[in-house]
Amino acid sequence: MTTHSDAITSSDEKPQEAPRYDDINVPVVIMWGFISAIVTLITILFVSGVYNVWSQSWIDARQGQYVNKPAREQVEQQKSILAGGQGIMPIAEAKQKVLEKFKK
């Protein structure tokens, strides 16, 4: 009958120690954990950035900022004139100017 130690050693070889599977190389495990955490963080930031760019371009296209830009600028100019009080006069004065302009 052979024992475990007899099976590992042969007649011509030196006795070898059986491999131990519970030996963990801690520095390597920590290094790979750190590297994987950094890669995961970079991936999350990249995907988040791409999503924000795509969603903002979709919102801009939906609001029509590119197509209606001249019309929006004109409306903003008119709003600024009304908010500033320029171009506002009493109705009687406006009526008088219209009559003078179109009087024949």
98: amino acid identity, one letter = V
Q: Which residues constitute the domain of residue 76?
A: 23-99
Number of structural domains, the chain? 1
Residue 53 lies in a domain: yes
pLDDT at 4: 54
* CA atoms within a 13 Å half-sphere pointing along the CA-CB vector of 78: 6
Residue 63 lies in a domain: yes
Percent share of the chain, pLDDT over 70? 77
Distance CA 88, CA 100 (A): 18
Residue 5 lies in a domain: no
pLDDT (mean) for 34-59: 95
pTM of the model: 0.41
